[in-house]
Chains A and B, each alone.
Chain A
Amino acid sequence: MSQPIDTSYLDLDTKDETFLDSTEMVLNMGPQHPSTHGVLRVILKLDGERVLGTECVIGYLHRGVEKIGENRTYTMFNPYVDRMDYVAAVSNGLGYCETVEKLLSAEAPPRAQYIRVIMTELCRISSHQVWLGTHALDIGAITPLFYAFRDREEILKIFEKYCGARLTTHAFRIGGCIYETYDGFEQDIRKFCAFFLPKLDEYEELLTTNRIWVTRTKGVGILNPEDCIALGVTGPVLRASGVKWDLRKAQPYECYKDFDFEIPTGVNGDTYDRYLVRIAEMRQSVRILQQAVEAIPAGPIMAKVPKVIKPPVGEVYHSIEAPKGELGYFIVSDGSTQPYRVRVRPPSFVNLQALDKMVRGLLVADVVAVIGTLDIVLGEVDR
C-alpha cells in the first residue's frame, strides 16, 4: 500500500504564473478523510496552498455489481442495485425496474406509476438532505446536518411504513410495485409536504445569506456549460451551470408528464449556485408530491409480467433522473433468466471526473467544498 505515488499521468507542466516557483508538494487526501464522503482518495499536487492538479484514486468499495448482475436472475439482481447509491436507493431500483420492463415491453399500471413517482421524489428530497447536511458540515456549519437529518427521519418513516426498510428499500418490482399503499399513506405525504416547506425555509435562513457560507461557496469550483457537457456531467451540477436539462422533462418516464413542475437552473455554475439549485429542486419535488398524492388513480399495482422473467434477445439503454444525475442501465438479454450484461451508468462516477477541472487553482480547503458540492456516493462510484 505504500508504493510511491505515480503522478506522471497528471498534466502538471502548465504552472500557475501568479505564483513564484517553489517546491511542489504531493498531498494524499483520504481514503479515510471524513470530507471525502466514504473512501475517496485524492492525490493533490500543491504549490503552497494552491492545487496544481489532482488525481482521484477510487475503487475501494468495488464489489463487482455488474458481474454479480450477470450471475443472478433479473429478479434477484433487483435488491443489489439499492446498494449502489445507498442514499437514493429508491431511484436506483426505479431505473433498473424500468429498464427490464422496457426489455419486456411491459409498463407499470398507472397506480404503480404514481406510487413510484411519490417514492422517488421523497427519495430525491432525502438524498438532497444528506447532501446538504454533510456538505455544510464539511464547510464548517454543523447545525444544518442536524436539521437535515431530523427532517429526513420523516421520509424514512414513510419508507419504513411502506416497505419495511428505511435505507435499502427494494420498494419496486419489475412490472410495478409489490406493496399497496398503507392506510394513511396519502395523509402522511400531505403532512410531510406541509411540514417540510417551512423546514426548507429554515435551511435557507441558516445558509443562503450566511456570510461565511457565501464566501466559502461563491465562485468556488466553477464549471461552465461547455465543460459540463464535454465531461458528461449531469444532474444539479449541470443545471447549476445554466443548462436546463432534466430527464423528467426531456424524456419523461413514468407519469412525470402529468405534473406541473419547473427545472431550477443556476447562472454561474459555482458551488453556491449548485446549493441554490438543489434547494429549489426540493421545493419542486414537494410540488410534484402535492400533485401526485391528490391524483393517485385506483387500479392494479402490478403489470402482467411472467413469473419467471425472460426478456427476449436484445439490448436496451434506459436512464432516469436520479438525485445525482443521469442514472442509466444498459442491459443485454440473451433470452435467458439472467441478464447477459448489465452496465450501470452511474452519475457519481462521471461527475467525479470533473473534480480535477473544478479544483485547479483553488485552495485545499476548497477541494473539500467541491467534493461536497459534486454530491458523490462512493458506493455508486465504485459499484
Chain B
Amino acid sequence: MPEENKGPDSVLPQPEGAKAPAEVPTLSKSPADSTAGADAVKAAPTAEAKPTEVAKSASPAKPVAPAAAAPKPPAAPAKPAGPVPEPWESELVTQLRRQYGSGIEEALRYLGQTYLIVDQSILPEILRRMHDDEGFDYCVDITAVHYPKREQQFDIVYVLYSFPKNERTRVKTKIKDGDHVTSAVAIWETANWLEREVFDMFGIVFDGHPGLKRILLPDEWKGHPLRKDYDILLQDREWVQINLGIESGQ
C-alpha cells in the first residue's frame, strides 16, 4: 500500500492527527532546519514521538506512514539535479561579446529561458541596445534579488519581451550595496514605477529617475523589507505608533 503514494494525494489520508500537526510548525518555525534535509529532521522526531501513542490507539498501519515518508525525500533532491544552465549561443550574444568583451559576463539558457549577466558599467548601453536595435520594446518587469553573503549583494533583473520577435529574455547585473544604477525610464516609461518599487523594497538608487521615492510603503518608513536581513516580523514600530496610534507597534 505505501508504494501507491501518488504525491500530495496520499499525504492527507495518512497523517490524520499523527503527522500533519507536527509537520507544519517545523516548516514555518525555522527555515534553516527545513532547508538542510528538512525531511529527515522532520520525520525523525515525529516518528519517535507520535507513533507510540498512535500505535496503541489506532490501526497498526499508522507507524508505517512516517517510515514510508522518510525514504521518499532523498529521491526528490536527486531528481532536481537534472537541469543545469547551458551556454546561450546566438547571433546577438556573439555580437555583444565581440563589442563588449568581458563586459558580458555570462549568457545562459535555463529551462528554455535565456538571460545575460552583464557588467554594471555597460548596463545602460546594453539596455538601450536591446530596446533600439534588438526589438525588445516591452520591459515586462524590473526586480532585484538580495544575496547578503556575496560581495556584490544585489542582482538587478530586467525581464524584456520583444513584440516583433515574440521572444523573452532577461538582462541581469550584479551590484554592491550602496551602488547606484542608471535608470531605464528614458528607455521604457514603464520602468518608472517598477524602479520605485525596487527602491522601496531594496533601497537601490536609480540615477536619473524622475521621481525616485517609495511607492508601496509610506514615505517616512525606515528599512527595506525585501532585503534578507529584514526579518518578516520586523517593522517600523515608530512609524506605526506615530501614525496609526498602536502602542505596541504590532
Contacts and interface: CB of A to CB of B under 8 A. Distances in A.
A58 B83 contact: no
A328 interface: yes
B217 interface: yes
A316 B188 contact: no
Interface string A53-95: 0000011001010111011110110000000000000000000
Interface in B93-150: 110-111, 113, 137-141, 143, 145-146
Contact of B111 (A102, A303, A330): A102
A340 B216 contact: no
A58 B200 CA distance: 12
A307 B69 contact: yes
Interface string B140-162: 11010110000000000101000
B27 A330 contact: no
Contacts of A227: 189
Given A232-B190, A328-B159, A307 B72 contact: yes
B76 A306 contact: yes
B141 A343 contact: yes
Contacts of A71: 28, 31, 232
A346 to B, nearest CB: 10
A41 to B, nearest CB: 12
Contacts, number: 162
A315 B232 contact: no
Given A76-B27, A326-B140, A338 B190 contact: no
B56 interface: no
* Most B CB within 10 A of own CB, among A59, A62, A307, A383: A307
Given A66-B226, A103-B111, A305 B7 contact: yes
Contacts of A326: 140
Contacts of B111: 102-103, 105, 314, 316
Interface in B159-192: 159, 163, 166, 168, 170, 188-190, 192
B83 A314 contact: yes
Interface in A19-78: 58-59, 62, 64, 66-68, 70-73, 75-76
Contacts of A311: 80
Contacts of B217: 59, 62
B9 interface: yes
A295 interface: no
A317 B166 contact: no
A349 B193 contact: yes
Contact of B159 (A75, A231, A251, A330): A330
A68 B232 contact: yes
A9 B128 CA distance: 25
A312 B188 contact: no
A127 interface: no
Contact of B31 (A1, A173, A316, A338): A338
A306 B27 contact: no
Interface in A287-344: 300, 302-312, 314-317, 319, 326, 328, 330, 332, 334-338, 340-341, 343
Contacts of A349: 193
Question: Looking at chain B, what size class is its interface with the partner chain?
Answer: 35 or more
Contacts of B137: 229-230
Contacts of B208: none
A232 B139 contact: yes
B211 A9 contact: yes
B159 A302 contact: no
Contact of A337 (B27, B170, B201): B27
A376 interface: no
A142 to B, nearest CB: 33
A343 B80 contact: no
A59 B214 CA distance: 10
Contact of B141 (A64, A175, A330): A330
Given A64-B225, A66-B226, A337 B141 contact: no
Given A72-B28, A230-B137, 10 more contacts: A9-B213, A64-B225, A105-B111, A250-B166, A305-B7, A306-B7, A306-B79, A309-B76, A328-B141, A330-B159
Interface of A: 1, 9, 11, 58-59, 62, 64, 66-68, 70-73, 75-76, 102-105, 173, 175, 178, 227, 229-232, 243, 245, 250-251, 300, 302-312, 314-317, 319, 326, 328, 330, 332, 334-338, 340-341, 343, 345, 349-350, 353, 382-383
16 contacts: A9-B210, A105-B82, A251-B166, A303-B7, A304-B7, A305-B7, A307-B7, A312-B83, A314-B83, A317-B113, A337-B34, A343-B141, A343-B143, A343-B157, A350-B193, A382-B216
When A and B form their complex, which 4 residue pairs have the shortest distance between CB atoms, in order from nearest? A232-B190, A312-B80, A9-B211, A336-B35
